[in-house]
Amino acid sequence: MFGKGFARVALALMVLAAGGQVGVAREIAHAMGVTEVPDAPQRVVILTNEGTEALLHMGVVPVGAAQSWDGNPWYKHLEAQLADTVSLGTESAVDLERIAALQPDLILGTKVRQEKIYDQLSAIAPTVFTETIGGEWQENYQFYADALGLSEKGRTDLAAFAEKTDRLRAALGDRVEDQISLVRFSPGRTRIYYRDTFAGVILDQIGFKRPPAQDRMDFAEQVTKERIPEMAGDRIFYFSADDDNDEARVNLAEWTQDPVWQSLDAVKAGNAYRVSELFWNSGGGIYCAEIMLDQLAANYGVTY
């Protein structure tokens, strides 16, 4: 079975059909098999939000990308870099005709979102998929780098991020022992977030602890108000829709005004904080991760 560490690159020689010259191509092992990709792709399509951040961070501007979850069509922090990039619909509903019109030489996506259209994408251009998204964002970053022929750049960037987490850990001192609770309030689906989430993996990397009820290598679990006590922690970071739409605002107030929530020690001590859903959850990429680190440092009043 294909595991999370599937981003393995093997170099292989091939004879170019036009002219019979010998060139270098690369075979990329990925979630759907093995695909031969161009050595230096020039027209890249990316079908995940985290992947869009990864490419831009590596200096690669995609010709087309899945639109941001909350944006028109891009997140504000990416708009300038994506000024010339074509929006391709959401991760869950990409526009195949628009992709084909771009004549890409490489398509990057994820099995968890686009497995059903993999064959159609592969008919347009060489297509490689990650297994999933979320907690695996760093493994995926290296995978994208490998697929682009930028393996060393990927390793360097991830090492720099790890060094930032090390600096933050040192700046926090004993407070890195805090048990951090993560909660998402959403109409009809309030969830406690565990360790195998975007924010959870980053908290682990810094060295924070999680409350016993949340110390699980799982994604998240939908809960009812009877389980509010499981949201307890030394500090609670929670998020809801950043646009504060009416439905989300009413739902958030209903939960945070509940007497059981109000009785949590962190809430009574003023240690329950609303944070950006984009940067702590939905964005899922390296820019969001770096901003999350900065927001944690600001919350704790440290520099790093």
State the Cα–Cα distance between residues 51 and 78, nearest whole angstrom. Answer: 12
Q: pTM for this one? A: 0.89
The mean pLDDT value for 119-128 works out to: 98
Confidence of residue 214 (pLDDT cuts 50, 70, 90): very high
pLDDT in tens, 69-106: 988 999 999 999 999 999 999 999 999 999 999 999 99
CB within 8 Å of 173: residues ≥ 6 apart? none
pLDDT of residue 190: 97
Backbone angles phi, psi at 52, to 5 degrees: -60, -45
Structure tokens at 155: 């390793």
Query: What confidence score (pLDDT) does residue 237 get?
Result: 98
pLDDT exceeds cutoff 80 at 259:
yes
pLDDT class for 25, splitting at 50, 70, 90? Answer: confident
Query: What average pLDDT is seen over the chain?
Result: 92
Q: Which residues contact 219 (CB under 8 A, 6 or more apart)?
A: 134, 135, 193, 194, 196, 197
Reference 148, options 81, 58, 83, 88; nearest CA is: 58
Q: Between 137-147 and 286-300, two packed helices, what is the crossing angle to 10 degrees?
A: 140
Give the model's pLDDT for residue 70: 86
| pLDDT-derived band at 24, boundaries 50, 70, 90 | low
Return d(Cα 169, Cα 203) in angstroms, integer: 10
Which pair of structure tokens corresponds to residue 287? 């820019």
- Going from the C-alpha of 204 to that of each of 179, 180, 194, 207, the distances in angstroms are 11, 10, 11, 5
pLDDT at 15 over 70: no
